[in-house]
Amino acid sequence: MNLKTKLSLARRHIGRLSALAANPVYIEDMDERLLAALGARAIVLDHDGVLGPNMSHGPDKAGEELLKRAVTVFGAGSVFVLSNTRRSLKERRDWYEKNFKDVVYLTAKRKPDQDGMLQASWASGVDVEAIAVVDDGLLTGALMALEAGGIPVYAVRRAMAESAKARLIRLGTAGTQRIAVRIMALIFG
């Protein structure tokens, strides 16, 4: 999806994106009660910046705990990890298949393309409207959920052990998206 199309979608959803940006959910606070309160029947989680650091093969401790809680709430086969990264794809897929058998690892077109949500819907048998997407990217995962009619959850981390390179990547993507949404809200909101 080109930048012009992405910005056009963001403009259409700027009110919701701005509200999400103003009220992020902290990964560390996502307990079973909060997950159930989403009203979803399946969940799609982003890896980079949500479950673990960018470029990592698997989630960190907070990410693993979130995955365990998600499986408890949504059940096996209704918890998905969606990643667009091509870096270490095989290693990451292998890690999830070995360590979280109840979680489905998906690769799809780049977010905000709805391909990942459609794959999760098909695999779980849950309509996209009943799928929550937990992502730290407002113009990627959150926008994908809004455009598909799903349940967007803008999630951030209080703390994450990550390399300087991983931090720069995360701040350069998720941070830039936050700034872009704020500017667009000022212009179009």
Distances (CA, A) of 1 to 21, 75, 111, 118, 128: 22, 32, 8, 16, 20
Q: Quick one: pLDDT at residue 40?
A: 98
Over range 43-53, report the average pLDDT: 96
Note the pLDDT of residue 3.
81
* Alpha helices in the chain, H assignment, sequence order: 3-12, 14-22, 32-37, 61-74, 89-99, 115-124, 143-148, 164-170, 176-188
pLDDT digits (tens, 9 = 90+) for 142-186: 999 999 999 999 999 999 999 899 889 888 999 999 999 999 999
Smallest CA-to-CA distance from 91 within 58, 62, 54, 47 is with: 58
Is the pLDDT reported for residue 86 higher than 80?
A: no
Whole-number pLDDT of residue 108: 87
**pLDDT for residue 114 is more than 90:** yes
Q: 26: domain range?
A: 3-188
CA 10 to chain CA centroid, Å, is: 16
Question: Which of 81, 90, 79, 95 shows the shortest CA–CA distance to 47?
Answer: 81
pTM: 0.95
The number of domains in the chain is: 1
CATH code (residue 48) = 3.40.50.1000
pLDDT score, position 169: 87
